[in-house]
A = this chain, B = another copy of it.
Amino acid sequence: MGLRTVQGEMQRVLGHLFGQSVELQCAGRTDAGVHARGQVAHLDVTAWPDDVDAGRVNRALPDDVRVTSIERTTMDFDARFCAIWRRYTYRVNDDPRGPDPLQRHLVLPHHKALDIDAMNEAATALLGEHDFAPFCKQRAFASTIRTLQRLDWTRDDDGAAVMTVQADAFCHSMVRALVGVMLPVGEGRRPVEWPGKVLSRGEKDSAVTVMPAFPLVLEEVGYPPQDEWAARQRDTRSVRTLD
């Protein structure tokens, strides 16, 4: 495709520094346009030159990609399959004056005032293990069962509405569809029961908009203690069903 990606930039720089072709495995494979502040990735190398560290990697990277730390680990670790949760934020500005121009690349402008309490009430129906197919881009043979561990809205220092969502994993476009099912509740256009009803109906609802990617940030990825890495990998690699 020739598209520029964070993974591509990283592989180019790391391949050069390690003197071998490398493939990066990321914890969260973000949709195009989504930002990642807390991405975790691993790569397998046959040798580790002494001079490879985060500073060296960053000096070789373009200034829109940064590594915060690099560690050697064991083969038990897998950035994607060992992860037990991912946490994302999504930022929406509903101030009639619009977002701060200096932060507008990270905040969705929204022209109607949002009722945070109503959205938080609606969120409770989505928590727990469910088939999130109504919010997922369906792919053949891929499970859409996920455990939503956290879903809430707060106001940040600039007054923007911030959705924080955490799950064991997310399917493609799921976070942006969750924002899309919550905003009509915040506006008062839909009742607080609506998101739960869309979920339990089990199929896509054309009234749910997948919101734009740029206000979405992968904030953090969680892992179990090291002695559980191997078992976690085995569990995650098997497809889940609701029994």
Q: Which residues of A contact B (CB under 8 A)?
A: 35, 37, 54-55, 58, 63-68, 96-102, 104-106, 109, 217
With a CB–CB cut-off of 8 A, which chain B residues contact A217? 102
Q: Flag if A102 contacts B106 (CB, 8 Å).
A: yes
Given the complex of chains A and B, what is the CA–CA distance between A58 and B97 in angstroms?
Answer: 6
Q: Flag if B102 contacts A58 (CB, 8 Å).
A: no
Q: Flag if A66 contacts B98 (CB, 8 Å).
A: yes
Q: Flag if B101 contacts A66 (CB, 8 Å).
A: yes
With a CB–CB cut-off of 8 A, which chain B residues contact A65? 101
Q: Flag if A63 contacts B102 (CB, 8 Å).
A: no
Given the complex of chains A and B, what is the CA–CA distance between A68 and B97 in angstroms?
Answer: 7
Q: Flag if B96 contacts A63 (CB, 8 Å).
A: no
Closest approach, in angstroms, between the C-beta of A204 and any C-beta of chain B? 31
Q: Flag if A98 contacts B63 (CB, 8 Å).
A: yes
Q: Flag if A58 contacts B101 (CB, 8 Å).
A: no
With a CB–CB cut-off of 8 A, which chain B residues contact A109? 63
With a CB–CB cut-off of 8 A, which chain B residues contact A67? 97
With a CB–CB cut-off of 8 A, which chain B residues contact A96? 54-55, 58
Given the complex of chains A and B, what is the CA–CA distance between A105 and B100 in angstroms?
Answer: 14
Given the complex of chains A and B, what is the CA–CA distance between A58 and B98 in angstroms?
Answer: 7
A–B complex contacts, Cβ < 8 Å, 5 sampled:
A58-B96, A63-B104, A67-B97, A102-B105, A102-B106
With a CB–CB cut-off of 8 A, which chain B residues contact A58? 96-98
Given the complex of chains A and B, what is the CA–CA distance between A54 and B105 in angstroms?
Answer: 22
Contacts A63-B109, A109-B63 given; indicate if A37 touches B97 (C-beta within 8 A): no
Given the complex of chains A and B, what is the CA–CA distance between A40 and B66 in angstroms?
Answer: 36
Given the complex of chains A and B, what is the CA–CA distance between A236 and B106 in angstroms?
Answer: 40
Q: Flag if A101 contacts B54 (CB, 8 Å).
A: no
Q: Flag if B66 contacts A100 (CB, 8 Å).
A: yes
Given the complex of chains A and B, what is the CA–CA distance between A18 and B209 in angstroms?
Answer: 37
A sample of 7 more A-B contacts (CB under 8 A), given A66-B99, A102-B106, is A54-B96, A55-B97, A63-B101, A64-B101, A64-B104, A66-B97, A67-B97
Specify the chain B residue showing the minimal Cβ separation from A67. Answer: B97
